Structure 1
Amino acid sequence: MAAALRAARLCHRAGRTVSSSPTAGLGRTGPASLSARRRFVFTATGNNVQFRLDERTAHSSLDLFKKDTGIIYRMLGLDPSKVQDNPERFRDWAVVLGDERIGGGRHYWEVTVKKSQEFRLGVAEASMSRDDCVGTNGASWVFGYARRKWFAMTGNKMVPVTQVGKADRVGILLDYEAGLLALVDVEKPRIVHSIKAPFRAPLCPAFGLWDGELLTHSGLQEPEGLK
């Protein structure tokens, strides 16, 4: 219980974005457009998923760049009145999802992180609550970095990850049928830490960012030797 409370406090203190007005970053509940809904039609079941970041889900403090493969954190964020009205957007937390659903298979992608001291990388159910932060519920599984330390997190419970330093580029390995999500040291390469979970719904790549920027690299072959 104490660990869960500490995890909740950490996400509350460091995860919630600073806004220029009391309503900045809040989503609206208008219906999504037909074209927006269609972006989540296809489900990857093989290997080597390729995705971009879905602007519809991005919190207003996150700017997408490089053809929607990267995000930059902006402390004040965008004027909420200029953010597209849709129910898919994360309302309180600086989170964005990938635009591909994964319903099976074994997939690998990498993330380059620049000038960031706090971020989260992993997967989330496509239907997870847009009021939650990734890692704080049972519908998301992430590896995070904060206060110069790595951790694994799901269900608001944090487990320290001690075998990796502040890496500029890391890999994420997802084996849907095996219920495995792993953090990969791309230099070795080797699995540093893994999370086991019974995945029961389509998943999307998930990212949280509270400073700096990150760039995703998908459609990659899994490095040899990973188990």
Structure 2
Amino acid sequence: MTLDVDTAQNHLIISDDLLSVYYTPQKQDRKKCAERFHPSPCVLGSSRFTSGRHYWEVVVGTSKEWDIGICKESINRKKAIYLSEKNGFWTVGVRGKKVYSASTDPLTLLLVNPRLHRVGIFLDMLENSVSFWDLSDGSHIYTFLKIPDTDPFRPFFSPASSYPEGDQEQVLSICPVTNPGIFGIPVNPQ
């Protein structure tokens, strides 16, 4: 999986290998694309999922703010987004490096290891669920159940948008899978 530059908001820097993203105050000179996010600082993964089971891992590092997960491919990218299931987003994120939440409406606050560094995301379209895991200890973070399967899904990434340019702590990176054993919903999802 890689990042889709054609969807990247113009203040996001995408690495040459298309695996990492961070925010910059300088606007990038990218071609105009109908798929591009504006004004929200977001980018989608290049993969489109319509069936099956899919797993990927994201290094969130020590970033103080981020959101990752999935969204419907058909979401409106031309207005400020509000992350919620009813708007087609199934994400987890953090604010202020200490308030973790799932994009339910209202938000579901999460008890997460404050040293969370790497997140596993498992999309199971057979069970209509998406689960998030803390890969430092294999603990379950959150599972969305009964996600609709009417649209293709895309991996979703939104790094911090209020920190100094090039601050390596604010980078989100897709990384090689290190924990392929996480392929199922937990016995007692919250």
Partner of 2:123: 174
- What is the CA-CA distance between 1:140 and the residue it aligns to? 1.2
1:96 paired to 2:54 = no
Cα distance change, pair 220–104 in 1 and its aligned pair in 2 (3 A):
farther
Moved more, 103-112 or 193-202: 193-202
Q: Which has the higher contact order (CA 8 A, sep 6+)?
A: 2
Q: Aligned partners of 1:103, 1:58: CA distance in 2, in Å? A: 22
Q: Aligned partners of 2:128, 2:115: CA distance in 1, in Å? A: 26
Q: Secondary structure at the match of 2:131?
A: strand
How many residue pairs match? The answer is 173
Q: Secondary structure at the match of 1:184?
A: strand
- What is the CA-CA distance between 1:221 and the residue it aligns to? 6.2
Q: Point out the structure with the larger helix share.
A: 1
1:58 paired to 2:8 = yes
Contact 2:57/2:177 (<8 A) preserved: no
Q: Secondary structure at the match of 2:156?
A: strand
After TM superposition, where is structure 1 displaced by more than 3 Å over at least 4 residues in a row? 218-221, 224-227
Q: Aligned partners of 2:123, 2:5: CA distance in 1, in Å? A: 23
Partner of 1:193: 142
Q: Aligned partners of 2:113, 2:93: CA distance in 1, in Å? A: 12
Cα distance change, pair 225–107 in 1 and its aligned pair in 2 (3 A):
closer
| Unaligned segments of structure 1, at least 5 residues | 1-50
Amino acid in structure 2 at the alignment position of 1:98: G
Amino acid in structure 1 at the alignment position of 2:83: G
Q: Deviations 1:116-157 (Å, cap 9, x if unpaired)?
A: 200000001112110242624521110011121210004x53
Amino acid in structure 2 at the alignment position of 1:222: P
| Unaligned segments of structure 2, at least 5 residues | 164-169, 186-190
Moved more, 130-139 or 104-113: 130-139
Partner of 2:66: 119
Moved more, 184-193 or 56-65: 184-193
Cα distance change, pair 134–221 in 1 and its aligned pair in 2 (3 A):
farther
Q: 1:77 aligns with which of 26, 41, 53?
A: 26
Q: Aligned partners of 2:107, 2:115: CA distance in 1, in Å? A: 18
Identical-pair percentage: 24
- What is the CA-CA distance between 1:115 and the residue it aligns to? 4.4
Contact 2:116/2:136 (<8 A) preserved: no
- What is the CA-CA distance between 1:219 and the residue it aligns to? 6.1
Contact 1:69/1:216 (<8 A) preserved: yes
Q: Secondary structure at the match of 2:113?
A: coil
Partner of 1:135: 83
Q: Deviations 1:40-96 (Å, cap 9, x if unpaired)?
A: xxxxxxxxxxx110000001111001410110211x1315xx221111110011100
Contact 1:95/1:134 (<8 A) preserved: no
Cα distance change, pair 114–159 in 1 and its aligned pair in 2 (3 A):
same
Q: Deviations 1:151-185 (Å, cap 9, x if unpaired)?
A: 0004x531011143241111111111212111102
Q: 2:113 aligns with which of 160, 164, 167?
A: 164
